[in-house]
Amino acid sequence: MKKIYIPFLVLFLLLVSACGQTSGTEKIEKPTIKIGYLPITHAGPLYLDAHLHHGEFENYSIEMVKFGSWPDLMDALNTGRIDGASVLIELAMKAREQGIDLKAIALGHKDGNVMITSKEIEKTEDLVGKTYAIPHKFSTHNLLLNEMMKKDGFTYEDVNVVEMPPAEMPAALAENRIAGYVVAEPFGAHSVVLGHGKVHYHSNEIWPDSYCCVLVLRNDFIQQHEEVTHSFVKQYVESGKRANERGKELFESFATFMQVDEEVLDLSLEWISFAELRIEEEEYNKLSQFMVEMGLSEQPPAYEDFVDHSFIEDVQNVRER
């Protein structure tokens, strides 16, 4: 009996141990989505998404990866060191044009960009010959500046345009090194709250529903993790809806990913909409046309090649049913 019983017991223990190892392996295989970001207000839905449940969801996790500049973020995205990002749509379009297989999944926000000037500037004419800052030439902010100048009867060349890190812009304005700037929030609100600058135009006065920051994913990640991507986008859209309600959890999420004065954040959020995050073809094509007009792109990626709206449409269809 002992010769039969002991091997059976050993076999039983080995089976139990093997089951335990399988369970542990399943936990390790739960994919982590590495998302790059810059600490700006425009990534609100993403902050809230990562904040909920501490970034742990049923079939995936979110790891937020902070960057100090757009070039650093794009280098990580283009080389596959991160799976996706909240990024300026023009930068993502240019990367796609250059052969990087990225897909734009959803908007980060609508509107929420402001044209800031010093208090001495009364009208756009007063900016002629002055220095005006933008964060990057491949940005909606650059396009907004061009559209503002055209709207008021001037040209882009009538101002001295400089690229400047967003965090430096409020100080540069206060020190009279620049006459104005346009950039992602909360840096516009910062100058207004401190009394160093004022709003010259809101973006919706120049270009209603303009696109700025978008959520992009590498297409290889989407293809390898299609079910996870569905879950991620569903949660992201829900986070956008909740962000638009300006609840307590939204402010908690901002405190996790950004250092910003409460008064500045409150004003910044007044200007931004996180509702309806689907990238529409008509608005995308208008953006593409603006890029061509400014010489920023010779052949922008076609909507159907760059935008994957299937995930966000699935979420909307479920809601309608």
Condensed to tens digits (0 to 9), the pLDDT of residues 273-310 reads: 888 899 999 999 999 999 999 999 999 999 999 999 88
Place of tokens 């936990």: 27
**What is residue 54's predicted lDDT score, i.e. its pLDDT?**
87
**What is residue 32's predicted lDDT score, i.e. its pLDDT?**
94
* CB contact set of 154 (below 8 Å; sequence gap of 6+): 124, 125, 127, 128
pLDDT in tens, 74-105: 999 999 999 999 999 999 999 999 999 999 99
Kindly list the structural domains of the chain, giving each domain's residue range(s) and its CATH number in brackets, ordered by start.
30-110+212-320 (3.40.190.10), 114-206 (3.40.190.10)
pLDDT in tens, 185-201: 999 999 999 999 999 99
Half-sphere exposure of 255 (CA within 13 A, CB side): 6
Task: Pick out the chain residues at pLDDT < 50.
Answer: 1-6, 8-26, 318-321
**What is residue 320's predicted lDDT score, i.e. its pLDDT?**
45
- Measured distance CA(178)–CA(109) in Å, rounded: 27
**What is residue 28's predicted lDDT score, i.e. its pLDDT?**
53
Angle at 304 between CA 137 and CA 321, to 5 degrees: 115
3-class DSSP state for residue 193?
A: helix
CA distances from 53 to 50, 62, 252 (A): 8, 10, 13
**What is residue 20's predicted lDDT score, i.e. its pLDDT?**
46
**What is residue 316's predicted lDDT score, i.e. its pLDDT?**
56
- Measured distance CA(68)–CA(317) in Å, rounded: 37
**What is residue 2's predicted lDDT score, i.e. its pLDDT?**
44
**What is residue 209's predicted lDDT score, i.e. its pLDDT?**
86
pTM of the predicted model as reported, rounded to 2 decimal places? 0.86
